[in-house]
A and B are shown apart, each in its own frame.
Chain A
Amino acid sequence: MEKLIVSTSPHIHAKSTTQSIMRDVLIALSPAAVASIVLFGLKALLNIVLCVGVCVLSEFIFNLIVKKKQTIVDLSACVTGLILGLSLPATTGVWPCIVGSVFAIIVVKCLFGGIGCNFANPAATARVLLLSSFGMSVAGGTLTSFQNPELVSGATPLVSINAGILEGLPSIGDMLLGNRAGAVGETCIIAILLGGAYLIVRKVINWETPVVLLGTVFLLSLIIKGDATVALYELLGGGVVFAAFFMATDYSTTPINRLGKVVFAFGCGVLTVIFRFFSSLPEGISYALLIMNILSPYIEKLCTFKPLGKAGKTE
């Protein structure tokens, strides 16, 4: 007699898997990674390799120690490592990279239950940790090899703008190409947009999050500063474009529903602008993300639509 498989319906499944989604994110990050190496040289490559390697190794060892099924094949640790590596300046030392990676994976992700269970974005949290522990070597930017062949720190356009210095800012063209001081992956806007578009086309992320977040930052900057050029530099001069596509769209730390994602993105935008203009921080997106991550479950709950036919107070 034939041996038949008996299981509950449905009996067919869509092709995408956790691994294929993470692979798509890695593909989407590759233009930014290539740009970072072109702009900042081998030190950028070293940072990226170090962060990815330590992240994957941390998850591997953690799973080994706690005797959990090995999860590194889902590629999510690679994604975390790559995002972290790209969001640090080229002057970041070896130790900050290692400490940040271990912290992101072990403390923020694995200790909370692994993929899907962490409440805060691992890369953003690690970046904040490094900012508060290693100071300006991590916080500032590095001039690109086109601006200065030696790896030297330089003020990001955001710092200059916030200090009221508008002279000597890179041209908008340079800003789009990435020829300005900053974290290695965040400067080349064109590469980021390319990757972001890929994710939207592949339906890995929704278009609302980056559009709402960036729109909010631009409009609020415009309202507060009253100058479109300044607002444009605010939009392109920091890490907010990179974060809008690759950090604010993280699945586990943002609301599950679409409306919730929109509210989340709006909140991130508002907080970013507040931090930039009304605090001593030159860059606010990392902190904004962390705060919104904490609020995410509540946003999710408030933004739940009424199911079809559900008896409720609204009707």
Chain B
Amino acid sequence: MFGLKFLGKTHIPHNKNTADLTPVKMTPPKEVLLPMAQHIGAPATPVVKVGDEVKVGQLIAEPSGYVSSPIYSSVSGKVTKIDNYLRPDGKSVPAIRIESDGEMSVLEGITPPEVTDFDSFIGAIRSSGLVGLGGAGFPTSVKLDAVKNGGIHTIVINGAECEPYITSDTRTMLDQSEAVYDGIALLEKYVPTAEKFIFGIEKNKPACIEEMARIFQDNPKVSIMPLPSLYPQGAEKVIIYNTTGLTVPEGKLPADVGVLVINVTSLAVLANYVKTGMPLVEKCVTVDGSAVKEPKNVVAPIGTSIREIIEFAGGLKEEAGKVIFGGPMMGIPACSLDEPISKTTNAITVFNVKEATEREASACIHCGRCVSACPMGLNPTAFSKALGYGTEEKMEKLEEASINLCMECGCCSYVCPASRPLVQNNRLGKTALREYKAHKASLK
């Protein structure tokens, strides 16, 4: 009813303590663990065996399907083990363990890829191992390949970085602005239909806005859009709405409204690969949180354990209560400090025990804070209520309340005074609905 859009706002402390800290390159780790699934899609297939000597930038696993991504060794050393690794999300995937020789010697013969036309451009992205670095991990080659279907008129470069603590995208914009510039040039060349390039950057990063405005001052196609410093500005549908005014319909992709969104660090990695031929083997990771002694930005080889990164960054000042891959709003907690960072890790947030301890949930008081907070205009209490019904009615109510529009940004749980597990309920609801639909489809 009414057809008006009333989008929620949530003020969350930014805690961008590391915004001014230039990333420090980490000393070679003792070993790295590289799971075969660091992206959405089919896990990669190992092409090395135990005992093999590998170099930095050497292919160790090739993509096994269209929606997949290759994995490269991030250190030089010896493959010591290929076994299963239990990911933080509970899925088990093969992982290659490489003992570092401390040399970090680079594979000989790494040359820039030949990029002459659209196909070779997509091929280059595919072989760079690049996946969506904003967090989703969708293979970038697949996303850009869809451009050939035409109709992309606007490319949104996501530099919102709305998650608290994380500043790795901030550093990309400040330290690698040339790579960002080259990235735009590549997109201009190979996505000729794109008329507009819009940088969405939160206003709490004035230095980034200034820098991007400076390097693109002569390019009329590029505009910089300062976004309000309100979580979650960086969420795909939200940033599209706020930069272009377009709404991505439920169940559709940004490409369906002619928009492509790419994370600013992904863009820089892409440009660097085309320039040097060095695939994605290291990541800038923000190390911060209440238990961290000195917040830092660390450039670490992918696959390095949290423990080694934290030690390099200066260690902890308090006992770790919770360790999160990413920021505190959408990050995934690690079960142990020995878990490795992956392609999509942009931060390690370590909370002390006090901050990590969850408040006990109490009854919903119907205050409506979650409804006011939801950036998609959903009613989180409706999902939680729906879960109490029997199957048929539950599914009907979940769909009616558009549960699939929930992107799990966490605003509702954040503001809930009764500490109710609203996001968790939404996840349960989404999974239940998906399984129910699959079951229905299988009966037909």
Q: Do A and B associate with each other?
A: yes
State the A residues within 8 Å of B (CB).
Answer: 1-2, 4-14, 16-18, 20-21, 71, 74, 76, 113-117, 251-252, 256-259, 261, 302-312, 314-315
Q: Taking the complex as formed, is B320 at the interface, i.e. its CB lies under 8 A from any CB of chain A?
A: yes
- Tell me the complex Cα distance, A252–B363, Å: 11
Residue B332 at the chain A interface, CB threshold 8 Å: yes
Q: Is the CB of A13 within 8 A of B164?
A: no
Contacts of A307 in B (CB 8 A): 250, 376-378, 402, 405
B320 close to A2 (CB less than 8 A): yes
Tell me if B283 is interfacial: C-beta within 8 Å of chain A. no
| Interface 1/0 per residue, B297-339 and A, CB below 8 Å | 0000000000000000000000111111000111111111100
Q: A2-B319, A304-B379, A310-B402 are in contact. Are A9 and B329 (CB under 8 A)?
A: yes
A-B contact count (CB 8 A): 178
Q: Are B7 and A308 in contact (CB under 8 A)?
A: yes
Asked if B381 is at the interface of the complex by the 8 Å CB criterion, the answer is: yes
Could you say which residues of chain A place their CB within 8 Å of the CB of B337?
Answer: 2, 4
Q: Which residues of A contact B322 (CB under 8 A)?
A: 4-7, 11
The verdict on B362 contacting chain A, using a C-beta distance below 8 Å, is yes
Contact (Cβ within 8 A) A116 B366: yes
CA distance A74 to B414 in the complex (A): 19
User: A9-B410, A310-B405 given as contacts; is B419 within 8 A of A17 (CB)?
Assistant: yes
- Output the nearest chain A residue to B337 by Cβ-Cβ distance: A2
Residues on the B chain within 8 Å of A115, using CB:
363, 365
For chain B, the bracket of interface size reads 35 or more
CB neighbours of B415 from chain A (8 A): 14, 16
Residues of B within 8 A of A76 (CB): 365
Besides A9-B331, A18-B418, A306-B377, 19 more A-B contacts (Cβ < 8 Å) are A2-B336, A2-B337, A4-B320, A4-B323, A4-B335, A4-B356, A9-B324, A13-B414, A13-B416, A16-B415, A116-B365, A252-B365, A258-B372, A305-B4, A308-B237, A308-B238, A308-B405, A309-B249, A309-B376
- Cβ A5 vs Cβ B366 within 8 A: no
A-B pairs with lowest CB-CB distance, top 4: A10-B410, A314-B3, A256-B368, A11-B328
Is the Cβ of B371 less than 8 Å from the Cβ of A257? yes
**Residue pair A10, B414 in contact (C-beta under 8 Å):** yes
Distance between Cα atoms of A306 and B5 in the complex (Å): 7
Contacts of A10 in B (CB 8 A): 328-330, 410-411, 413-414, 423
Q: How far is the CB of B286 from chain A (nearest CB, A)?
A: 15
Quick one: closest B residue to A6, CB to CB?
A: B333
Task: Verify A114–B363 contact, CB threshold 8 A.
Answer: yes
Indicate if the CB atoms of A309 and B359 lie closer than 8 Å: no
From the candidates B252, B356, B364, name the one contacting A116 in the complex (CB within 8 A).
B364
B241 at the interface (CB under 8 A from A): yes
Contacting pair A14 B414 (CB below 8 A): yes
Distance in Å from the Cβ of A82 to the closest Cβ of chain B?
17
Give the residue of A71, A114, A304, A309 whose beta carbon is less than 8 angstroms from that of B247.
Answer: A309
Using Cβ atoms and an 8 Å threshold, which residues of chain B touch A306?
Answer: 1-5, 377
Q: Tell whether, in the assembled complex, residue A9 and residue B364 are in contact, meaning their CB atoms are under 8 Å apart.
A: no
Tell me the complex Cα distance, A302–B353, Å. Answer: 44
Name which residue of chain A comes closest to B374, CB basis.
A307
